[in-house]
Amino acid sequence: MVGALAEVLGPLLGAFLRTTVGMFTFTLVLAVLAYRTAAAAGSPGKAVLAAVLVLGLGAVLGGVLAVKRAILTGLRHGVARLQLGQRTLGALFARMLGVHGAAGQEAAGTRGGAVAQRVERLPLARAEELLKDAVAGLHKEGGVTGFFRSRLHRMLVDRVEALTLMRFRAEGASGGGVDLVKVQAELSVRVDELLVGVFDKLLLKFTALICLALAGGTFLIALAIRSL
């Protein structure tokens, strides 16, 4: 699963370049507006200062957005095209069920298997503890793959953990405990679709917040410089 993350580098770099170009263009437009606003006070020096400050702010916020969009776009591609959500979910439940290898995974999916019988119903607290330990194990595994892949790996694992935890709590709300095999089967069908939705929302959220912050910062800079 960690190795498959290398296949998302192309879409990731493409998103980084597109975002960088887009934010550079947006920043230039805002810098011109800031220059004109500050120049209305009759001081060319103030107008240049306002434009420089806006360009600096745009460089910082644009860099943050480019990195965020690159990572999220890469993960979205991996989930939609490579089913990384299912792979991550399978790795988590393999650890929770104490299953290793193809034979163990087959047993975990069979309710008559010894593993399934042993852990079919667990108290919610115990299920959450197993999930936490499984996530820690996957984080450790991803930590040896290099900084960049490690970031992608950690974010993917954390998002799958969040979806799994929500399902555990919904299952445990009935008071009958958590059926690990049932939860895995249900999530496996939808986990990639759910993750794509999560990443789409995060992409929209980060883009809107950064662009609004840059526009608002430009407005404040222009007014502040003009009033000096």
**Distance, C-alpha 17 to centroid of its chain:** 18
Half-sphere exposure of 225 (CA within 13 A, CB side): 28
With beta carbons less than 8 A apart as the criterion, state whether 171 and 182 touch: yes
C-alpha separations of 170 from 176, 177, 187, 197 in Å: 11, 10, 13, 20
pLDDT in tens, 146-180: 666 778 888 999 999 999 999 999 988 877 789 99
Query: Residue 9 has what pLDDT?
Result: 81
Q: Where are the domains of the chain?
A: 8-227
Higher pLDDT, 135 or 100: 135
Burial of 99 (0-12, 13-18, 19+ CB in 10 A): buried
Whole-number average pLDDT of the chain: 85
Amino acid 195: pLDDT? 95
In this prediction, residue 6 has a pLDDT band, given cuts at 50, 70 and 90, of low
Q: What is the DSSP letter of 228?
A: -
